[in-house]
Amino acid sequence: MKRSVRFLMALLLSGVVAGHAAETGQDAGNEEPEEIIIRGTRSVDTLRIKMMATELRIYDLFNTLNPDDRYDIHCQVVAATGSLIKERQCAAQYIDDIRADEAWAYESDLPWIPPMDEIERHDEELRRLLEKHLAENKDLQSAAREYRDLRKQLLEAEQAREKN
């Protein structure tokens, strides 16, 4: 944030200085314009947005490649019970199905025990499918590399911001 404010101030001041030079007749003999080189890093917010978009692209690619809809991954923005703060949550369809069963049991005043063995079996199958499609699909590999690189840049940007 500080960097972008400084950048805007520099642009505004350079415009004021250039306008003053034009008014006073200075700079009339210069044929080459001045050159301003700005080096910087992407902002943390920009990196987060790019990471989220890349993550969604990975899920879309996986969902297209995956023939079993139980393992399709979907994201939604939700607020936890009792909170107004919303966050994005992504889960495979089988998790949403188990949550629906839990909600039905709750509404029906029935006891409900999470099927941990079923969840673990599905988790293992999802992991296997992800690894399989990642090994076979170049687009998925490219998106995964892009996500990894963006994550690294984000961590570096956050560390740099903490130092300032």
For the chain, the structural domain boundaries read 44-163
The predicted model scores a pTM of 0.67
Q: CA 151 → CA 83, 127, 148, 157, 164, distances in Å? A: 28, 21, 5, 10, 20
Q: What is the pLDDT of residue 112?
A: 82
Cα 112 to the center of its chain, rounded Å: 35
For 68-103, what is each residue's pLDDT tens digit? 999 999 999 999 889 999 999 999 999 999 989 999
Fill in the amino acid letter for 97. D
